[in-house]
Amino acid sequence: MNCSQCGKPILNRHYGGLCQGCYKYFKNGGKIHDIPAAGTIAYDDQGKIICHICGKSFVRLGSHIKESHGLTIAEYKERFGLCHGTRTTEKSYSNIMSRHAKNNGMDQQLLEAGKATRIKKGDTHMRKGKEVRLQERIDKRKRKDK
Ligand SMILES: [Zn+2]
Ligand SMILES: [Zn+2]
């Protein structure tokens, strides 16, 4: 049988129609979130990063997409238009809180999020003849709009 939540075949024991991964996820209070738009990174209210494939949120996306979706993080980023340097781990919770306290504004948060994903100086191989990923184009648009 297949997992009723993620559709993965269940090989060993099943947990009320769920695979072990889904069972654990929901048991710990996990939710299914809206799928983030391609080229953007979204976090849940706990600062966990949301998967572009299934909408679940994780502290670290790398191991999840490998186990559940059979993709490497590089393939995942390519598929969803994310830059190489984009962090795919949770936002530090304390960071979010202090940011809230200082700015209490969404614009600043978006700006900060953009900073982390910008291509580093010297990392120019993406520009030379290579497609600039969607995420970077979105970041640029945001900066222009400001
Ligand atoms: Zn499952
Ligand atoms: Zn997923």
What is residue 114's predicted lDDT score, i.e. its pLDDT?
A: 60
Q: What is the pLDDT along the chain (146 residues), one digit of tens a residue?
A: 899 888 888 887 778 899 888 999 999 999 999 999 999 999 999 999 999 999 999 999 999 999 889 999 999 999 999 999 999 999 875 455 555 555 555 565 556 666 655 555 554 445 565 668 888 888 888 887 76
Q: Which ligand is nearest to the CA of 21?
A: 1
What is residue 34's predicted lDDT score, i.e. its pLDDT?
A: 96
Tell how far the Cα of 21 is from the centroid of ligand 1, in angstroms.
6
User: CA 146, CA 107: separation in Å to the nearest integer?
Assistant: 9
Around ion ligand 1, residues with a beta carbon closer than 5 Å are: 3, 5-6, 19, 22
Tell how far the Cα of 57 is from the centroid of ligand 2, in angstroms.
8
| Beta-bridge partner residues of 9 | 2
Helix 93-102 × helix 106-117 angle, to 10°: 140
Tell how far the Cα of 67 is from the centroid of ligand 2, in angstroms.
9
Model pTM greater than 0.95?
Answer: no
